[in-house]
Chains A and B, each alone.
Chain A
Amino acid sequence: MLIKSSRDGLNPPLSSEITPREVYEERRKFIARMAAGAVAGSALWEMANREAFAQGAPAQKLAARANPALSTTEPRTAFKDATGYNNFYEFGLDKGDPAENAHTLQTRPWTVSIEGEVKKPMRLDIDSLTKLAPLEERVYRLRCVEGWSMVIPWVGYSLSNLIKHVEPTGNARYVEFTTLADRKQMPGLRSGVLDWPYVEGLRLDEAMHPLALLTVGMYGQVLPNQNGAPVRVVVPWKYGFKSAKSIVRIRFTRDQPKTAWNDSAPSEYGFYSNVNPKVDHPRWSQATERRIGEDGFFKKKRETLMFNGYPEVASLYAGMDLKKFF
């Protein structure tokens, strides 16, 4: 007898069974328009919408199988919010800046160099990288260190696929991700807020965890530039800044990499930066969060969950004092 189980994620529903983005977005837009019409008049609303989507160009679809075992069933954040409100300092400091400025990013051709403590160092172009393993859709919670959160359907595959492919040597203990730093494409590099390029890193066992996602798309399409196109990582149990965007280099190292935020303000941003409601940021509490589009006006902020609600990663940190290694 064949027993289908959603636990193992081997028999996920076909992507055709899932409500397409256009359809649910159209529903949301309709509802939003009804509300807006009462206040601002729908003509104005139409104009504003046209402007907001002008950057969007024709989005390229990405076929991917849903992986319900590794996905949350919480309501997804609206596409417009997830692509219009985020931090990507290479394109400006305000959370609307990336959507406004990232059109200058050239995502093709794009090569990722894989170096350091690996038996098979290589340079992979974005197409080979995308084809390295079957693409999955995973709906993850995203918790920003600033205290807001979203729920985003990402498209990619477990980073472990790539790591196994390049065969780390026995010396490899950490993985370092470097973001593109090109002044011609990234106006934000003119600011001295961080030491460019943006570097992030994980311990090798963290990077090997099935939840760590090498990501090439979201909402069923290729990553919009402002969300880290053409390739980024998503590490859902850590604060968002740990998930490097627009990656050009992946390096395996013996020593803990010098990461951007940790380097800039070590007392505020630890190397690990696991989501932890019990360890406050020096200037605000991390015990609660505001789910974008849901909490705040009429609903109290929600409690932040340990490891952002991914308890399966806890064993990675067994025996560690997470107040010290925050």
Chain B
Amino acid sequence: MAFNPTPKQVSLIKGAVFVAALLPFLWGALQVFGGELVEPLEYITHETGDWALYLLCITLAITPVRRLTGWNWLVKLRRMLGLYTFFYALLHFIAFFWFDHFFDLAAMLRDVAKRPFILVGFTAFVLLIPLAATSTNGMIKRLGGKRWQWLHKLIYVIAPLAVLHFWWMKAAKNNLAQPALFAAIVIVLLGLRFYWSRAKTRTAARA
């Protein structure tokens, strides 16, 4: 199924994806300021966490989908999707820092150190920062392609941490259907990469 949009069409698609990924934020803001929610703080915390995870999975899906369909232009969406992942993760972190600790840094860090569930989520967030910070063309040039790529492999650590954070959050309530779904998605997305890299090594060895 060949689909090779012109550069102009690619920019249109990019614009549409930009708006689509912003919609959860706009919708959430409308809900919060609409005043109908009983517990807006919980709503904000959960929604931003959910969307950080959704966008993380979508970002991770770009490479496998591109490989399976041959739609190489998809890579042009990846940076934006990655930055949106960071955007929602940042909002999620701010919600935690604000609503749970009222910007008390020492209290927040104590909480992080004490609770594995928060520690893994916090670690995933912190690891996202260098990726967001090196997302510009300038930074790619400065780091050099190889080193930049190596750094961005951090996402393979971040994704399982994010799923674990979600898993532990739901575990007490014995409500694991959703975390199991996301664990499966991340396993498939990372597993495909592993399989392909093994296949490549084998081919190289035969040659």
Interface of A is mostly: loop
Given the complex, which residues of B lie within 8 Å of A280, measured CB to CB? Answer: 114
CB closest residue in chain B, given A87: B173
Residues of A within 8 A of B (CB-CB), count: 37
B151 CB to closest chain A CB (Å) equals 31
Residues of B within 8 A of A (CB-CB), count: 24
Query: Do A44 and B34 have beta carbons less than 8 Å apart?
Result: yes
B99 CB to closest chain A CB (Å) equals 5
Given the complex, which residues of B lie within 8 Å of A282, measured CB to CB? Answer: 115, 172
Selecting from A18-26, A133-141, A211-219, A292-300, the interface stretch reads A292-300
> With an 8 A cutoff between CB atoms, is B133 at the interface?
no
Selecting from B36-44, B60-68, B135-143, B198-206, the interface stretch reads B36-44
Given the complex, which residues of A lie within 8 Å of B30, measured CB to CB? Answer: 40
Given the complex, which residues of A lie within 8 Å of B47, measured CB to CB? Answer: none
Query: Do B34 and A283 have beta carbons less than 8 Å apart?
Result: no
Query: Do B41 and A297 have beta carbons less than 8 Å apart?
Result: yes
Query: Do A300 and B115 have beta carbons less than 8 Å apart?
Result: no
Query: Do A48 and B174 have beta carbons less than 8 Å apart?
Result: no
Q: What per-residue 1/0 map shows which CB atoms of B97-114 lie under 8 Å from chain A?
A: 001101000000001001
Given the complex, which residues of B lie within 8 Å of A301, measured CB to CB? Answer: 99-100, 102
> With an 8 A cutoff between CB atoms, is A43 at the interface?
no
Given the complex, which residues of A lie within 8 Å of B118, measured CB to CB? Answer: 283
> With an 8 A cutoff between CB atoms, is A132 at the interface?
no
Given the complex, which residues of A lie within 8 Å of B36, measured CB to CB? Answer: 45, 48, 52
Given the complex, which residues of A lie within 8 Å of B168, measured CB to CB? Answer: 283
| Chain A interfacial positions (CB closer than 8 Å to B) | 32, 35-36, 39-40, 44-45, 48, 52, 80-81, 84-85, 93, 95-96, 148, 191-194, 264-265, 268, 280-285, 290, 292-293, 296-297, 300-301
7 closest A-B pairs by beta carbon, nearest first, are A85-B38, A300-B102, A296-B41, A36-B35, A40-B34, A39-B33, A81-B38
Known: A32-B35, A36-B35, A292-B38. 9 other contacts (CB 8 A): A44-B34, A81-B38, A148-B42, A192-B174, A283-B169, A283-B172, A297-B40, A297-B41, A297-B99
